[in-house]
Structure 1
């Protein structure tokens, strides 16, 4: 029997919702209508294979043994917590990220909102002022970078191993049921409560209608926010969260390629006739794409752009180079000054070196180097967190700022186009 079948077999059927969860959902509808309206959209299912609670965009699962260890106020807070996972789109956006670290990042993103709404969370809830106001993707990048900085890569354990190790240390305390290792209210066969500060798991939505489900939830979040605001029961941070959750997501890779292609001069010309119709006696123009100038990419090397983002950006640099075939590919690294320049000619097989730098941030020097080195940019793309001094002079070539900070919080560039890069 596979895992999914085991989980389904351990879940309660379509019977009544657990009375304690049903009671706290009702309390949310009355006192916190934003959370309450969205909580009613989730099916509730008992799942003894779970450690605590979980949500996947469609179902709210819970372990009854863990539920019995919580107070009524904590149950209400956990339900609101799980609702925010879906409202923030965490069930749709995990991608290839490590599930445990992604779960922690999502918890850090939403727990302050639940607490600021006046609710109670179980002891050990993940809260850190450094992450308040940041998205789950930004926090995930910070957690990943912090883990790399703490230990050499060869000795760095997998996040899941860290949790297994922390859960295996020490001797379990006997529960009220008389069975060793059980928390109060747990039954034999129930999984133990989480010991690492996480009391709910966010799982990726597995249904074939993911885009539809995601859109439905965005609409529901907007409607719930409006309804709660009309009743005067929508705190400011929830209003901001609802606006952020409903904001359309733009694929920065598509924007990057579109920006680069727009800088490639293409037109129909008789200079190179369309050979396809010459044998029929038709002398027709062909699409002529002359060689574009230099494709210039600048990487912020101040340390504010994390390794994973740099690696994905490097992959897109190479993709643009191979698809557009510019005269040259120029890759610069810059903190306050240009720290490294790599130039590749058309036909090369570029191997981009790691970022070099680590100081503060200022954006002017790469633009000065373009002039000083006699480069001929068809365009320039700058990957940065947007925290730095911008050039005083507007360049004559197109510029795309690839911002690793949410556009709602990023500094506005005085020229060029800006796209949000959240990896």
Structure 2
């Protein structure tokens, strides 16, 4: 181990005990193949050449940076996400905490006020959406150059001869990148691009996915360590508010929303015992006992927030769960609505349709309102067995609660999401 790392790790134990105690849990290894620093929840690797370019305070900050990657569980939660984009999202989540703790980080690290207080998953969704938009624009620009810019001129002439439409009045229209203002409302972001783009600002320390067979045990062990370190630092009066909040979030169990969704659908399906069809297993014994009757489930309704505030990865996973729930519950009809401030698309599938269930892409853009899907169902005289609404919970709700079960699948963490006036809520983490 480089003596500078040993020295700064000791300094953390004395001055920043939360970081110092946790830093001692990581095995330090020299790794000239990496660009900066890295951690996988078990080891802490460093490039000696990169370390040589840091001063003592920056070295201490980078050590704290790597500790927070593990303390936040970033090593366990990457999944199938793009490693580079996931690392950027994690950096945006933890760098402000390191700085607020009074430490120094190398120049050019990823910091953006848009992401303050957001989880790595939320930030990843935003970055992924912006990356797709950028790639789409580059593709369109490249196509225009290949065609000699003539299509661009033609498109301008066509658009000039047509009346302009608001984004939420055109099903299938796209929306500008969204951000939350002080009141929590969706508004076009004044700064859709990160203040320091991932390409321009390399990470001062990357997070790598833990690949050991004891992942669950290692994660649980670290949660206990984070809680103990936070308590010890607080007793010494050396636990800033941001760190305390982070430690609380880090040790909270992550609940998979998918089983909750399936259980909600199953519990909303009527089942009861009936003598109309006696249990044949006991007839030979002269016992006339009821059997479990499962009448056909009525309509199952799923509403997808199409305002642009729910990212594509989440929409794709939600669509997969819609198909899975439909196969498991087998409702009379599956009704899928897309809604921003109004319903922009409705898809209806009858039970027993010969064609394979294939949901169309989400159509919408603009603001958010939860009112029209409920109004439309009432107007059509449809009382579904249940309704599931995927949204960020940022919009006006109906004045009256419906008389059927409603599950709000919130893409905003429940601790920050608006409370629904009726129904149940589950946090969707993708």
Question: TM-score by structure 2 length?
Answer: 0.83
Query: Residue in 2 aligned with 1:373?
Result: 380
Q: Deviation digits for residues 226-261 of structure 1, max 9, x if unmatched?
A: 111111111111111111111110101111011111
Of residues 325, 333, 336 in structure 1, which corresponds to 2:338? 333
State how far apart, in whole Å, the 2-side matches of 1:409 and 1:24 are.
Answer: 36
Query: Residue in 2 aligned with 1:185?
Result: none
State how far apart, in whole Å, the 1-side matches of 2:220 and 2:135 are.
Answer: 40
State how far apart, in whole Å, the 2-side matches of 1:198 and 1:273 are.
Answer: 67
C-alpha deviation, 1:280, in angstroms: 6.0
Query: Residue in 2 aligned with 1:293?
Result: 298
Tell me the SS of whatever aligns to 1:37.
Answer: helix
> In the alignment, is residue 399 of structure 1 matched against residue 406 of structure 2?
yes
Q: How does 1:207-356 map to 2 (within 5 A)?
A: 207-278=212-283, 283-348=288-353, 349-356=356-363
Q: Deviation digits for residues 49-103 of structure 1, max 9, x if unmatched?
A: 2221110111111122221121111110010000000000000000000101001
C-alpha deviation, 1:277, in angstroms: 4.9
What is the number of residues matched between the two proteins? Answer: 370
Q: How does 1:1-400 map to 2 (within 5 A)?
A: 17-152=1-136, 155=139, 196-278=201-283, 283-348=288-353, 349-400=356-407
C-alpha deviation, 1:272, in angstroms: 2.3
CA 1:195 to 1:142, structure 2 compared with 1: closer, same or farther past 3 Å? closer
User: Given that residues 38 and 45 in structure 2 are in contact (C-alpha distance below 8 angstroms), is that contact kept between their aligned partners in structure 1?
Assistant: yes
State how far apart, in whole Å, the 2-side matches of 1:260 and 1:30 are.
Answer: 53
User: Given that residues 333 and 355 in structure 1 are in contact (C-alpha distance below 8 angstroms), is that contact kept between their aligned partners in structure 2?
Assistant: yes
Q: Deviation digits for residues 400-420 of structure 1, max 9, x if unmatched?
A: 110011111111111111111
C-alpha deviation, 1:282, in angstroms: 5.2
State how far apart, in whole Å, the 1-side matches of 2:26 and 2:277 are.
Answer: 62
Structure 2: where are the runs of 5+ without partners? 141-198
Tell me the SS of whatever aligns to 2:385.
Answer: strand
C-alpha deviation, 1:286, in angstroms: 2.8
C-alpha deviation, 1:283, in angstroms: 4.4
User: Given that residues 256 and 429 in structure 2 are in contact (C-alpha distance below 8 angstroms), is that contact kept between their aligned partners in structure 1?
Assistant: no
C-alpha deviation, 1:155, in angstroms: 4.4
State how far apart, in whole Å, the 2-side matches of 1:305 and 1:237 are.
Answer: 27
C-alpha deviation, 1:111, in angstroms: 0.5
Q: Deviation digits for residues 203-231 of structure 1, max 9, x if unmatched?
A: 11111111111111111111111111111
State how far apart, in whole Å, the 1-side matches of 2:31 and 2:69 are.
Answer: 19
Q: Deviation digits for residues 257-292 of structure 1, max 9, x if unmatched?
A: 111111011223332233445556654433221111
Query: Residue in 1 aligned with 2:420?
Result: 413
CA 1:373 to 1:270, structure 2 compared with 1: closer, same or farther past 3 Å? same
User: Given that residues 62 and 204 in structure 2 are in contact (C-alpha distance below 8 angstroms), is that contact kept between their aligned partners in structure 1?
Assistant: yes
Structure 1: where are the runs of 5+ without partners? 1-16, 157-193
Tell me the SS of whatever aligns to 1:353.
Answer: coil
Query: Residue in 2 aligned with 1:166?
Result: none
User: Given that residues 55 and 86 in structure 1 are in contact (C-alpha distance below 8 angstroms), is that contact kept between their aligned partners in structure 2?
Assistant: yes
User: Given that residues 123 and 197 in structure 1 are in contact (C-alpha distance below 8 angstroms), is that contact kept between their aligned partners in structure 2?
Assistant: no
C-alpha deviation, 1:21, in angstroms: 0.9
Tell me the SS of whatever aligns to 1:97.
Answer: coil
User: Given that residues 90 and 106 in structure 1 are in contact (C-alpha distance below 8 angstroms), is that contact kept between their aligned partners in structure 2?
Assistant: yes
User: Given that residues 403 and 419 in structure 1 are in contact (C-alpha distance below 8 angstroms), is that contact kept between their aligned partners in structure 2?
Assistant: yes
Question: TM-score by structure 1 length?
Answer: 0.84
C-alpha deviation, 1:132, in angstroms: 1.4
State how far apart, in whole Å, the 1-side matches of 2:334 and 2:381 are.
Answer: 14
